Amino acid sequence: MRAGSAFRRCTRDRCRARVAASARACPKCGGHSISWAFVIDLTLPGSKRKQRFGSGFPTKAAALEAMNRLQAAVVDGTHVERSRRTLGAYLEDWLAARNDIRANTARDYSVSIHNHIGPRLGDVPLQAVDRLRIRGLYRQLAESGLVEKTVHNVHVCLRKALQDAVEDGLLRRNPAERAHAKPKDRPEMRTWSADELATFLAFTAAAFVAKPPAKRCLRGDPGRARSTMNAQLSEPPHFGQALAPPAPRDRQPRLVHRLNTDPALIASSP
């Protein structure tokens, strides 16, 4: 890589003339608005010249520091050329070039780009897209009524597209990475503890003893009576509420077994 240089430069419009280090005013326009700038050639000696400029630095040291950072980025492969390409234009080209995905996936990506991403961030320059803008997009989508799973599908599409932009040298890093968490597939299930299960069984046994259900409808139709009995006990008690005194523990298993197996007990007259 060729060596660069730093110099003073007039910052007035339509002038931009170089100014000597000891001069107090621009020799071309007489203006006093002067700052430091640098110029560097990014190609190797013998290759076609590819100059890059930087300006607006208050001191020579600041200009040289910026020039050295640019040189280091070119050497380690992290340098990204400036581009005015918008996110919307890039996503259109990216989707058109993705011929390695299934038709359903391409359809989902098209919906995400044309219905959700494009109308909100399509005019933003690709290199100006950051994580803050992306999270703002997801917030707007959620506020518009989209469920969390749909918002995450939009995130998957945008993350893949921007990752390809990184690999193509259009972005230094992927701003969509970790911008949205994957939603849970199902709500967390809460199971009863052993004490809660014992309370429920005690309640059901006590309910049979305290109020035998629907005796009158059991005569001649035990199946219908058993359905009625199950319906009355279909809703478990709220834990913490007052329960009827349960039957003695040594009688509960025998009581439940007898109620389930002895039609004569259930069909007895009141």
Give whole-number Cα distances, 228 to 216, 218, 222, 250, in Å: 11, 9, 10, 27
In this predicted model, which residue has the larger pLDDT, 196 or 156?
156
pLDDT score at 165: 94
Between these two residues, 199 and 117, which has the higher pLDDT value?
Answer: 117
Q: Give the start-to-end residue ranges of the domains of the chain.
A: 5-76, 87-167, 194-266
pLDDT at 191: 79
How far is residue 244 CA from its own chain's centroid?
Answer: 50
Structure confidence by residue, pLDDT tens digits, 211-255: 555 544 445 555 555 555 555 445 555 544 444 455 455 555 555
> Once rounded to an integer, what is the mean pLDDT over residues 24-49?
86
pTM of the model: 0.53
Question: 87-167 adopts what CATH topology?
Answer: DNA polymerase; domain 1 (1.10.150)
- In the prediction, which pLDDT does 201 show? 83
Q: How far is CA 230 from CA 143, 204, 213, 223, 257, in A?
A: 44, 10, 9, 11, 14
160-183 per-position pLDDT tens digit: 999 999 998 899 899 999 898 877
Q: Which residue has tokens 């780009």?
A: 113
Q: pLDDT tens digits for 67-98?
A: 888 888 877 777 778 889 999 999 999 999 99
Amino acid identity at 130: D
Q: Which of 120-134, 211-225, 250-264 has maximum average pLDDT?
A: 120-134
pLDDT bin (cut points 50, 70, 90) of residue 202 is: confident
The residue type of 230 is N
Residue 146 has pLDDT above 80, yes or no: yes
Per-residue pLDDT, 268:
47
